[in-house]
Structure 1
Amino acid sequence: MGAWSCLFFSGMEGSKGFLHQLYAASGNFWQNLWDSVYKLFGRNNFAVGVIDTTGKPGFLMRYKVQMDKNVPVDRKKLKKAVKLVLFNGFVVSFPMTLLGIYTMKLRGCAFSGDLPTFTRVMVELIMFSLVEEFGFYYSHRLMHHPIVYKYIHKIHHEWTAPIGIICIYAHPLEHCLVNMMPVILGPIIMGSHLSTTWMWYFITLVSTTISHCGYHFPFLPSQEAYDFHHQMFINCFGVLGILDRLHGTDYIFRASKAYKRDKISLSLTPMSQQYPD
């Protein structure tokens, strides 16, 4: 057992060394890139981005999860969504981001030009994901309490067949407590470097857009669980599915055909054809 353990950890160390070299490859590419950004904008910069998708080319329709919904998208309904999304994206998100930056400074997060190591970045991204899972799951379940749902969360569920832009179509209070807070908390708790925080924000923006896009594209993360949540108003309250399994709030989903489709497709054949109703 001792020999196998030594061999295993040696392999782990070798892999870590290789990944660290890859991270620092091409003349310390990431460090040089960060130095350029740091010199250009200084210590007090931050980024706010909203990634949204609304275009649906005809040849992609075969990958749509709910084939008969939003074809085409109701223009009046879309216009209403765009107005609230812009309000949340700029009016609500801006002060929340400033508060996050201020809190990061109080926490002692690094805003310097020296980047963290590859290992630290990977560990922090994992921790961010766990913090988000915890924060999003419980705040999201709170939003489904009958009293709260009626006045706040019902807005988000007006779209039973989601599209990318509605990822932040929500009551402003929900946008702060459910969409942003669980994402911001991880970097603050970990005392992370600003560059790692930016990377995390980018990952979450892409992830939430994919989860709301309404299409199960090949080679991309599955959004079947969250689409099921919008369609049925029940189950699948978390991001990773860990707390849903722990609390049993995925049992209906696991009994559905959507659960079989809930995986990354490595084929150009739509999942709806691989696992037909």
Structure 2
Amino acid sequence: MEKAFKLDFINDKTGSLYVNCCGCSQTEALHSFGPASKPHYLIHYVLSGKGHFRFHDKEYRLEAGYGFLIQPNELAFYQADAKDPWSYLWVGFAGSRAEEYLHSMGLSDRHPIFSCDKSEELYSIVRDMMEHNTFGIADDLRRNGLLGVFLSVIADSAGVVAREEEDKGNQYVKKAVSFIQSNYCNPIKVTDVADYVCINRSYLYTLFQNYLGMSPQQFLTTFRITKARELLESTNYPIESIALSCGYSDALVFTKAFHAMKGMSPSKYRKESHKESTKEQLQEVEGLIARLLKP
């Protein structure tokens, strides 16, 4: 059960920036929300504990000092940690300039995570909003003014953290690709790659889809088959030896994987391989790796 104190406000929805709701919550283990959407922007900030936030097929593990943005009319899911459930505050808002301000802060659907070390100040602002909870013009002006202050406190660091999150994901993919390049000849699995990078398989899958447009398994198979093509053209190794050299302990499994990707058996490819150059064979994987190495 969630222990929450929240307020919802009525607005004319014509201003540049206005508060729709705000609140504070202390959750119990595994308390969750969604997947569901809201008609306005919603910022949550974690005061203590841990949890995770899932949005656009990406999952973020968050703890005290971090927050997340939910876009209007977009499905989102978040859940408290099983052992250390979080407490958080939130502010829902809208307005003709809300999107502009958020983008200027570096927050968007691609970069929904931020950090801020001013938890006491953010809590004080939200508490002030909640104390001025009438529908009179004085309290309305005060809440909307406090919203500007709330966003300004976050603005100092939100953009930097968004870029760091992206850079971190890119580094994970680079490490994973490097591991595959060095170990494709061994019978490694995607779980081995994830363990090496020290992230779970689900997150590794998400990162590969985001940066390379394919799953880790697809990349591993593509890399192995590309190396097999090179060996088929440049050596007279038996098919069984090429399979073993590319991480396949079963030649039949290798043959099926090769046929699925190239539309022919390894033996048939070998007969026709003199029509292609080694550079052309490697272009497919090198192109993927080059995308990771761009500054």
TM-score by length of 1: 0.28
Q: Which has the higher contact order (CA 8 A, sep 6+)?
A: 1
More helix by share: 1
TM-score (structure 2 length as normaliser): 0.27
The structure with more strand, counted as a fraction of residues: 2
